[in-house]
Structure 1
Amino acid sequence: MKDCPCDMAKNPFSQKVNRKLHTYAHAGIKNHRCATCGKAFFRKGDLKCDICGKAFTQNGHFKQHMDIHAGVKTHNCGICGKAFSHKVNFKRHMDKHAGNKDHKCDICGKAFTQKSYLKKHTAWHVGDKNHKCDICGNTFTCKGGLKKHRDIHAGIKNHKCDTCGKALSRKSDLKQHMDMHAGKKDHECDICGKAFSQSGHLKQHMDIHAGVKNYKCDICGKAFTQKGYLKKHTARHAGDKNHKCDICGSTFTCKGGLKKHMDIHAGVKNHICDICGKAFFHKVTLKLHMNTHAGIKDYKCDICGKSFSQKVHLKYHMDAHAGVKNEKCDICGKAFIQKVYLEHHMDMHAGNKYHKCDICGNTFMWKVSLKQHINIHAGVKNHECDVCGKVFTHRSNLKCHMDIHVGGKDHKCDICGKAFTRKDKLKTHINSHTG
């Protein structure tokens, strides 16, 4: 029987203690203070949850809390179907659909649907980062931010992409990832016009323009604009090649390197030269090729002074000086300085002649041979004898001609001993012996 009415609201109470607490509520008396945060309450939390230990002062709040543990969600959104345990959470959710943003920031004017969001936003303005990570020391403005950050350390990735299956730690990261799939690039560079799907990627790109390289290698001292580039670089020092090609067995330090390598197997050449139309597998190879058109030759031989547009070409040239020939033919045993020369040589064994003359139809194994042949049709003779002034289309013909002047007869007949200045003359002579 409720015989203890309230003098102010005339509400009856079954117990005198409840009437007293109710009176305290009217008077604003809060005698019970939290030792952790200092927040004050009307009554001591005598309603304690047996599952998590959380205490409540009001029976209604305790009941709502128990609904969370039981998974009871009685408040359903008629627009998106999302369900909530508490009415207040449901109301906040509906404000989002309605676009109600009643909580406005006094500093920047940005508005929010919830007061708690505004509080977190204001903390960001004033730089209050009271929540610190025990693992890496990073600080955050709100407890929720720290909790999400800890998921990264724990390797928890609850947000999965429906398109490619990639899992991410944060919902915001998934949203940005989905923008990438959609081709959405809202973040544009004011200097070069390049656009990005994520603001973080634009910031990293701007560091390139500014020449900012904050990530330095402890081993060799080389600096990078992005942490990812430094990580790949360090993997090279360590010799970590965890990405293996299933076709040829080649290993790579990063996933991107393996992907580019797979393009070679697939014959994909996406990087095309605007001047000559030649296509390349890699962007860096195209860039080096463009140096050839521009006449840029930064790599000079210390022995003979010859310059090259690419470092690898200088290396091959130095191998020629040293007599290094690591590329050997399995059929005839002939060795070459470069792999490309061996490949051309193998075409000779196979009888492959891919280069055809449009004028007479003659085919050649090498592009340079076709070019020399075209000079015959055009009457071009760039190779002149310094002794007699005779001109030749091919350098090899001039070389044979010079043997006449010096009297060198290096090509000798094994049958009769007669010697000749040129190999083709010896061949003709041999035919006379054999008929």
Structure 2
Amino acid sequence: MMCELSPKILHEVEGVASSINSNTKLQNLCQDGDTKHQCLTIHMAIHAGVKSCKCDVSGKEFTCKANMGNHMNMHSGIKNHKCDVCGKEYAWKSYLNRHMNMHSGVKNHKCDVCGKEFTAKSSLKTHADMHLRIKKHKCDICGKACTSKSNLKKHMNLHSGVKNHKCDVCGKEFITKNSLKSHAELHFCVKKHKCDVCGKKFTQEVYLKNHMNVHSGVKNHECDVCGKRFTAKNSLKIHKDMHFHAKKHKCDVCGKEFAYKNSISHHMVIHGVVKNHKCDVCGKEFYRKSDLDMHMNMHSGVKNHRCDLCGKEFTAKNSLKAHTDKHFSVKNHKCDVCGKEFTYMASLIGHMNFHTDVINHVCGVCGKEFIQKSSFRAHMDMHAGIKNYKCDVCGKEFAMKSGLDDHMNMHSSVKNHKCDVCGKEFTVKGNLKAHTDMHFRVKNHKCDVCGKQFARKSGLNSHMTMHSGVRNYTCYVCGKQLAHKNGLDKHMNTHSGVKNHKCDVCGKEYAQKNNLKIHMNMHFGINDHKCAICGKEFTQQWSLKAHMSMHAGVKCYKCEVCGKDFGYKTNLTAHMKVHAGVKNHACCVCGKEFTGTSILKTHMKMHAVIKNHKCEICGKEFTMKVDLGNHINKHYGVKNHKYDGCEKN
């Protein structure tokens, strides 16, 4: 006998009759005592949708009392069917049979759309709903829709935060059973699936597939709340929890709040008073041993992680991963100020601190401020005296390899970094960056002493050392003291006699580039500093400052031989040559020698017969101003010179 509505054979449904309780009378379902006819009658009730048996507990309806009886076992907790492999128990034998397929690995149910195979037909049905986008079950808290009621139930556990699934190996707890299963694989499973790009291994092929999206830069998962996109679905899930999860866990020390308990546990380590893990090389201390191990790789210089694309090597695996992403990722995040593009939004946020001048890291030794943590750490190594990178050309040592690389460009004189605004070229990218900031950044930091303004507070702090008079760097050749180390380095070039900066106009050479720049202003007549009293203009501010002291009658430089005072140090230096009898400046016409260039310049006017100084009384002209002064004294009978041994003036 066969059902007219279904090709189901009777002997397949006879199991329904065998599962019926012995007290159940088939005669209640059909007056005919034939067993096969009774089975067919039960089967036909399924097509008709007739459900005459109702559960008093949950209200669920069934077509026959046998199915309701099995259902009641679920309420009573009776599970008579046990798996011989893992010991799991079930209320229904059909559930046990379905469970056994998982151990055998037999997957008889295949999806016609994507070809994915399943052990149970119900799993295939749930999977098919995903293709059809059928999501009937919606979460009342966050609005997420699920394909099945069981998935919705699992989802609700995320909101409740209840973790009923515990790992037997490490004791870690999980909200969902699936999460526990994935975690257990880390303890026992072999990672057979390897990424060809970065070499990372995975336990399942689906994890490798999701990982490859990171390299390709494809982000198919978008947040419905803020629009942020992610490469992996799990990353999106974690991100959405931030929108809907209340931050119930608060740090008692700093007050910071967290959504998850494990997050606050990880955070509390930072507040730990004791750092038990200390570096034997530099003495730096760490809260965790893993951080110390990672730090030790920096000292050893061992780089076991190499990029397969460019060959660059790294000490840490995560550094290689971040580097590999640069090869494949698209830079979709652009700075609105300078136009620089970034792969990650976090990198752009860190970059914006340069424009906003946000200082997050302050050195406890010298008070210097830093925007980036990496720069701060490199600076602290300088205080510790750690310099593992040495230049083979000049022997200069550096704390970071990047500093050595930038320094080597100075020896090669290659300037690959060009400013897009003014076209100025630089050997080091960091110098270009600092130069670019000058174009775009406002100078909000003003010196209270001289009024000079700076773009960064660190620049102002460095400038203030000049006013304080603190000079910690002393030249071992001449004993001159300087406020900054870079100033000492430039000063040492004057002793070495090396002059690499040559004037293109007159050919004069200088040891420092800044002196050449000042000299060039003389050729082009650039005098930005003007005296408010007499109107005289100067190329440098310090020259104007020294000139102003003359108006005030202040002469700070005194000759120790004759006691004569001078307003300029250069005048004192030239005067000392008179006492020493040094005459290095000779006239090219008559050969007469002089102690200074200014005296030689005045002497040359005599040969040129240039008489710019005229007496207003008699009209006589003179080449030198001093001669005119002596001449005017004769008109008025003034005699300034008295000779020893004679009373005549």
Q: TM-score, normalised by structure 1?
A: 0.60
Cα pair 2:473 2:481 within 8 Å, conserved: yes
Deviations 1:201-242 (A, max 9, x none): 4343322233x1377369778653467634523555666544
Do structure 1's residue 57 and structure 2's residue 188 form an aligned pair?
A: yes
- The correspondence of residues 237-256 of structure 1 with structure 2, limited to 5 A, is 241-256=471-486
Q: 1:264 aligns with which of 484, 489, 494?
A: 494
Select between 217-226 and 238-247 the one with higher mean Cα deviation: 217-226
Deviations 1:372-411 (A, max 9, x none): 3323333322222222222222222222222221122333
Match of 1:40 in 2: 179
Q: Distance in 2 between matches of 1:287 and 1:406?
A: 48
Q: 2:216 aligns with which of 100, 104, 107?
A: 104
Q: Assess, with a 3 A threshold, how the Cα gap between structure 1 residues 314 and 176 changes in structure 2: closer, same or farther.
A: closer
Offset at residue 352 of structure 1 (A): 1.3
Cα pair 2:417 2:429 within 8 Å, conserved: yes
- The correspondence of residues 125-274 of structure 1 with structure 2, limited to 5 A, is 125=343, 127=345, 160=389, 163=392, 164-168=396-400, 185-196=415-426, 199-210=429-440, 212-213=441-442, 216=445, 223-225=453-455, 229-230=459-460, 232-233=462-463, 235-236=465-466, 241-274=471-504
- The correspondence of residues 70-89 of structure 1 with structure 2, limited to 5 A, is 88=194
Cα pair 2:166 2:173 within 8 Å, conserved: no
Q: Assess, with a 3 A threshold, how the Cα gap between structure 1 residues 245 and 17 changes in structure 2: closer, same or farther.
A: farther
Q: Distance in 2 between matches of 1:347 and 1:232?
A: 36
Deviations 1:294-319 (A, max 9, x none): 44445444544544444333333333
Cα pair 1:336 1:342 within 8 Å, conserved: yes
Deviations 1:149-184 (A, max 9, x none): 99769859898466454232xx77776666666655
Cα pair 1:301 1:318 within 8 Å, conserved: yes
Q: Distance in 2 between matches of 1:230 and 1:341?
A: 32
Cα pair 1:383 1:394 within 8 Å, conserved: yes
- The correspondence of residues 416-427 of structure 1 with structure 2, limited to 5 A, is 416-419=646-649
Partner amino acid, structure 1, of 2:345 = G
Deviations 1:240-269 (A, max 9, x none): 544333334444333211111222333444
Do structure 1's residue 406 and structure 2's residue 636 form an aligned pair?
A: yes
Do structure 1's residue 311 and structure 2's residue 541 form an aligned pair?
A: yes
Q: Distance in 1 between matches of 2:599 and 2:636?
A: 27
Partner amino acid, structure 2, of 1:216 = H
Match of 1:82 in 2: none
Q: Distance in 2 between matches of 1:351 and 1:404?
A: 32
Q: Assess, with a 3 A threshold, how the Cα gap between structure 1 residues 174 and 261 changes in structure 2: closer, same or farther.
A: closer
Select between 177-186 and 241-250 the one with higher mean Cα deviation: 177-186
Offset at residue 351 of structure 1 (A): 1.5
Q: CA RMSD in A?
A: 5.1
Do structure 1's residue 379 and structure 2's residue 379 form an aligned pair?
A: no
Q: Assess, with a 3 A threshold, how the Cα gap between structure 1 residues 407 and 179 changes in structure 2: closer, same or farther.
A: closer
Cα pair 2:530 2:536 within 8 Å, conserved: yes
Partner amino acid, structure 2, of 1:104 = S
Match of 1:143 in 2: none
Do structure 1's residue 389 and structure 2's residue 619 form an aligned pair?
A: yes
Match of 1:70 in 2: none
Q: Assess, with a 3 A threshold, how the Cα gap between structure 1 residues 215 and 395 changes in structure 2: closer, same or farther.
A: closer
Q: Assess, with a 3 A threshold, how the Cα gap between structure 1 residues 342 and 106 changes in structure 2: closer, same or farther.
A: same
Q: 1:339 aligns with which of 569, 573, 586?
A: 569
Cα pair 2:166 2:174 within 8 Å, conserved: no
Equivalences, count: 348
Cα pair 1:159 1:174 within 8 Å, conserved: no
Partner amino acid, structure 1, of 2:188 = T
Do structure 1's residue 368 and structure 2's residue 598 form an aligned pair?
A: yes
Q: Distance in 2 between matches of 1:224 and 1:301?
A: 24
Deviations 1:333-371 (A, max 9, x none): 333222222222221122211111222222122223323
Q: Distance in 1 between matches of 2:454 and 2:409?
A: 26
Deviations 1:110-151 (A, max 9, x none): xx979985599579756368xx9xx959xxxxxxxx998997
Deviations 1:14-60 (A, max 9, x none): x944997854797689x8887579773547749xxxxxxxx6123x4
Q: Distance in 2 between matches of 1:373 and 1:150?
A: 59
Q: Assess, with a 3 A threshold, how the Cα gap between structure 1 residues 294 and 181 changes in structure 2: closer, same or farther.
A: closer
Q: Assess, with a 3 A threshold, how the Cα gap between structure 1 residues 308 and 239 changes in structure 2: closer, same or farther.
A: closer
Runs of at least 5 residues in structure 2 that lack an aligned partner in the other structure = 1-83, 88-98, 108-117, 124-164, 201-211, 220-307, 310-319, 333-341, 351-358, 362-371
Q: Assess, with a 3 A threshold, how the Cα gap between structure 1 residues 339 and 362 changes in structure 2: closer, same or farther.
A: same
The percentage of counterpart residues that share the same residue type is 37
Q: Distance in 1 between matches of 2:468 and 2:506?
A: 40
Q: Distance in 1 between matches of 2:578 and 2:631?
A: 26
Q: Assess, with a 3 A threshold, how the Cα gap between structure 1 residues 42 and 151 changes in structure 2: closer, same or farther.
A: farther
Q: Assess, with a 3 A threshold, how the Cα gap between structure 1 residues 403 and 273 changes in structure 2: closer, same or farther.
A: same
Cα pair 1:355 1:363 within 8 Å, conserved: yes
Runs of at least 5 residues in structure 1 that lack an aligned partner in the other structure = 1-14, 47-54, 62-85, 95-100, 138-145, 420-435
Select between 279-288 and 175-184 the one with higher mean Cα deviation: 175-184
Larger Rg: 2
Q: Distance in 2 between matches of 1:261 and 1:280?
A: 12
